[in-house]
Structure 1
Amino acid sequence: RLIETFGLELQDFCFDSVELAREAIVCYTHWLLNDGKLTSAIGLILHFDLSEFCTIETLIILARSNEYALAQEFAQILDADGRRSWIEFCIVEGENEHSALRYAHRAVVAFNLETEFPDVRTKYFQSTIRRMIFKGQYEAALKHAGSEVDLQTTVIELLAEIGQLDFAHEFAVRCGLEFCCDPEALANLVAERRATYFQLPEHLQNAVAFADDESTLVSAVEQFILNQDVVGLDTEWGASVGEDSDKADTGDVATLQLASLAGVVIIDIPKIQATCPHILERTLAPVFKSHSVLKLGFAVQEDLRRLAKGHSAFAEVNAVCDMQSLWKVGVSKAKASRLILDTPWGSKEESMRYQPIGLSTLTAVVLGKPLDKAMRMSDWSRRPLLPTQINYAALDAWTLVEAHRVI
């Protein structure tokens, strides 16, 4: 730290010669590497230009300690052969370690070695897609594949591999690819999924409106939202998946869902803002400002922040109840009473929960079945939305109202 802070050089040390000072620094650096103090070791190597450490062996030490980012930075000072060796090492490690493939891909791009390592990008993308599929992020995986047929095929094959034939079939149709499966088995899977997860009741199947123009928005709000005492609120955000990320980067609000026991309106916020932004102030601002209309959300602060950022109609919001926070209060009161209360949040299972409850779990506890969250990571900026997206968005908002009623 002293060396870095004051920019000390070898001649600043109390040794008989610069050579002895350098020898001492080299010995100390060896000790740091062996003791696992890798950041400090790399700092000394770079500061004093200790060329004897500028080898693939040093990078392997870093990688074995899962310091891939530090190794990637260090690789920049290696010669061309050292950089190639680093990429080759990452490719081999990538058979079992996804991070290694990520840094192999980054190194190939950073060092302009695409022609020498043409398959690294595909291997990295396939590995990322595999991780997404096994996390249940099917839509995000398909978006990550983009328009590349080989990657789209990877998504479909992996879905079939884990038994998600309905998603595999749907994705194949959307991508214009062939996918053969037993129609009866596919129908059974679809029926099983519907039986497993909570669904909109039959009388609401035709009470879901998608509003992307002024007249539709006015009509849907008048029909389903005005004169209601309780309104469920949820948003979906436009997401993009970057080449160097396993996660979907959240963006601006893509849809706003408002629900009552009477029905749901799904609002295309970007389209409305582009064509008739004034209508938001006239139709939705009074609902958001009202003290007599209870707005229900789930971890709702981020939804409200993004809405307010996008339009002044959402700048003032009153009478908001966060169902996740409400549930937490109920659990705390049940714990404080030291009794297992006859309420959903008073169960022994809830008293032992360490993580905040999710909406799907809350729905299962209160309404009997969980929500199907497979569409959570889908591309909400695409138009038209898929029927499965419409159903997912409607359920997320309407479930809040129904769960609140039951509670």
Structure 2
Amino acid sequence: MSESPEELLPPYDGIKLADVRLVQTAQHAVAAFDALLAMDAIGFDTESKPTFQKGEESTGPHLVQLATDEVAYLFQIGRTAPVFTDGLRAVLESESVLKVGFGLSDDLRRLRSKLGIESSNVLDLAIALRANKRQTIGAKTAVARFFGQTMQKSKRITTTNWALPVLSEKQILYAADDAHVALRVYRRWRELKAG
């Protein structure tokens, strides 16, 4: 089996665990929301426990990931105080902060359905970066295109239980990377367009 061109590229390192905050207290939440609301743009994604039965409805999102240029913040939904939902609403409904991510239609629908959040000022990079009108682009392809690196996306981690009370280090890094890489790609894309 031959390797794809992306697999021949050097690996994308991604965000470091030291730069990820699993927000669990009201005090940490306030600091996180202050940092996020001070940004012009943030990376954005959600994770939901997968469904395996036909007709089974998702109860997600179970995790909301928001990233600044330096830090990714993870919010476990259902395990957090109402202040978290109010803060998430303030950030996601803010007109002054651009939220960027890949393939966001399902994320937005689930946030609306579960938390009543009507996200605004959102840019779906999967659509914005596509070369033709039909094919969307994912984070892995964008990392190859903009950084000349390959991003590992483990199917095993993608399909783990995001509703667990305690997430593994691999889950935390995977989730943080999804939001953080979106912002990095957005910044690089804007830089090249301006260049």
Give the structure-1-normalised TM-score: 0.41
Larger radius of gyration, structure 1 or 2?
1
Residue among 92, 116, 124 paired with 1:288: 92
Unaligned 5+ segments in structure 2 are 1-8, 190-195
Q: Which has the higher strand share?
A: 2
Percent identical among aligned pairs is 28
**Could you say which residue in structure 2 is the equivalent of 1:225?**
36
CA distance in 2 between partners of 1:364 and 1:294 (Å): 23
Quote how far apart the aligned CAs of 1:400 are. Answer: 0.5
| Structure 1 residues 270-291: Cα deviation after superposition (integer angstroms, max 9, x where no partner) | 111xxx224421x222222222
Kindly report which structure 2 residues correspond to 1:33-72, keeping only aligned pairs within 5 A, or say none: none
**Could you say which residue in structure 2 is the equivalent of 1:369?**
149
Unaligned 5+ segments in structure 1 are 1-194, 334-353
Quote how far apart the aligned CAs of 1:401 are. Answer: 0.5
1:296 match: secondary structure: strand
**Could you say which residue in structure 1 is the equivalent of 2:72?**
264
Quote how far apart the aligned CAs of 1:304 are. Answer: 0.7
Greater relative contact order (Cα < 8 A, sep 6+): 2
Q: Judge conservation of contact 1:232–1:296 (CA < 8 Å) in 2.
A: yes
2:79 match: secondary structure: helix
CA distance in 1 between partners of 2:85 and 2:33 (Å): 11
**Which letter does structure 2 place at the counterpart of 1:371?**
M
**Could you say which residue in structure 1 is the equivalent of 2:193?**
none
1:238 match: secondary structure: coil
**Could you say which residue in structure 1 is the equivalent of 2:49?**
238
Quote how far apart the aligned CAs of 1:355 are. Answer: 4.2
Give the structure-2-normalised TM-score: 0.81
1:210 match: secondary structure: strand
**Which letter does structure 2 place at the counterpart of 1:358?**
G
Q: Judge conservation of contact 2:10–2:148 (CA < 8 Å) in 1.
A: no
Q: Judge conservation of contact 1:213–1:271 (CA < 8 Å) in 2.
A: no
CA distance in 1 between partners of 2:113 and 2:57 (Å): 17
**Could you say which residue in structure 2 is the equivalent of 1:212?**
24
Residue among 139, 143, 165 paired with 1:359: 139
CA distance in 2 between partners of 1:250 and 1:387 (Å): 24
Give the number of equivalent residue pairs.
Answer: 179
CA distance in 1 between partners of 2:11 and 2:163 (Å): 25
**Which letter does structure 2 place at the counterpart of 1:381?**
A
**Could you say which residue in structure 1 is the equivalent of 2:3?**
none
**Could you say which residue in structure 1 is the equivalent of 2:192?**
none
